[in-house]
């Protein structure tokens, strides 16, 4: 057996062992998953040359020079992996709840989705403008989500918290009205009527990540 074949066999056994361990033991699965997630970070940890090197006496100018250097490196990497030339066609409004990760929900959203996060998925005029801008830029589906076990919904039902967070609670109370207001904006209304845009109102099951559409807004076809 050559050294190369030996290495390939050892690697094969290692992978097989890991797969078996993952299948047989939830604890092994947890550790292997965590190890894979950490692998990239740990590889970078060793490269102290690329660290933000400083002591506490660093000046703002020096911080900026370092930041530019890091960016130069990132831009150099980007050069090898050009980003998609395609424009996002989906915009998602979701609660800021940390359990919800839009990429876990629908796949890799980087560069492919506009994602707007607010507590309780509230839709103030500022977010309405953000989503309208996204439509002008080519978005064809907007998914307005809420989710189960939402802390902002719980706060809206709690007299003490209502008093403590009046601005958020008033937006929570107006949530449905704000959605109607958004859909009635001329750009949005016309895009829906022309069949260029659909809006889905959906509820995320926080425990399963399943997206259940409750209401759909689209043209009559």
Q: Footprint of Zn ion on this chain (CB under 5 A)? A: 95, 97, 150, 152
> What are the φ and ψ backbone dihedral angles of 141, each rounded to 5 degrees?
-130, 130
Question: Looking at beta carbons only, is 175 or 189 nearer to Zn ion?
Answer: 175
Find the shortest distance in angstroms from Cβ 171 to Zn ion. 13
Q: Starting from the edge strand earliest in sequence, which strands make up the sheet with 141-147, in order? A: 113-118, 90-95, 141-147, 198-204, 211-217
Closest by CA to 116, choosing from 175, 124, 185, 108, is: 124
CA distances from 115 to 8, 90, 101, 186, 209 (A): 43, 9, 10, 22, 16
Question: Looking at beta carbons only, is 150 or 192 nearer to Zn ion?
Answer: 150
Question: Looking at beta carbons only, is 97 or 132 nearer to Zn ion?
Answer: 97
Find the shortest distance in angstroms from Cβ 193 to Zn ion. 32
Question: Looking at beta carbons only, is 117 or 200 nearer to Zn ion?
Answer: 117
Find the shortest distance in angstroms from Cβ 99 to Zn ion. 9
Backbone conformation region of residue 195, classed left if phi is above 0, alpha if psi is from -120 to 50, else beta:
left
Find the shortest distance in angstroms from Cβ 103 to Zn ion. 18
């Amino acid at each position: 057996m050559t050294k190369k074949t030996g290495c390939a066999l050892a690697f094969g056994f290692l992978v097989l062992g890991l797969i078996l361990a993952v299948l047989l033991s939830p604890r092994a699965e947890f550790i292997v998953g965590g190890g894979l997630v950490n692998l990239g970070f740990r590889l970078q940890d060793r490269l102290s040359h690329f660290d933000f090197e400083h002591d506490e006496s660093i000046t703002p100018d020096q911080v900026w020079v370092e930041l530019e250097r890091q960016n130069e490196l990132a831009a150099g990497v980007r050069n090898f992996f050009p980003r998609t030339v395609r424009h996002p066609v989906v915009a998602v409004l979701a609660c800021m709840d940390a359990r919800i990760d839009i990429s876990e929900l629908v796949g890799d959203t980087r560069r492919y989705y506009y994602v707007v996060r607010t507590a309780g998925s509230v839709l103030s005029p500022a977010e309405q403008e953000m989503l309208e801008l996204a439509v002008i830029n080519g978005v064809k589906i907007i998914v307005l989500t809420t989710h189960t076990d939402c802390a902002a919904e719980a706060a809206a039902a709690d007299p003490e918290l209502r008093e403590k967070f009046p601005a958020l609670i008033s937006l929570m109370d107006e949530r449905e009205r704000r959605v109607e207001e958004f859909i009635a904006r001329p750009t949005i209304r016309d895009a829906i009527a022309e069949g260029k845009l659909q809006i889905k109102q959906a509820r995320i099951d926080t425990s399963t990540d399943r997206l259940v559409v409750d209401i759909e807004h689209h043209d009559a076809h």
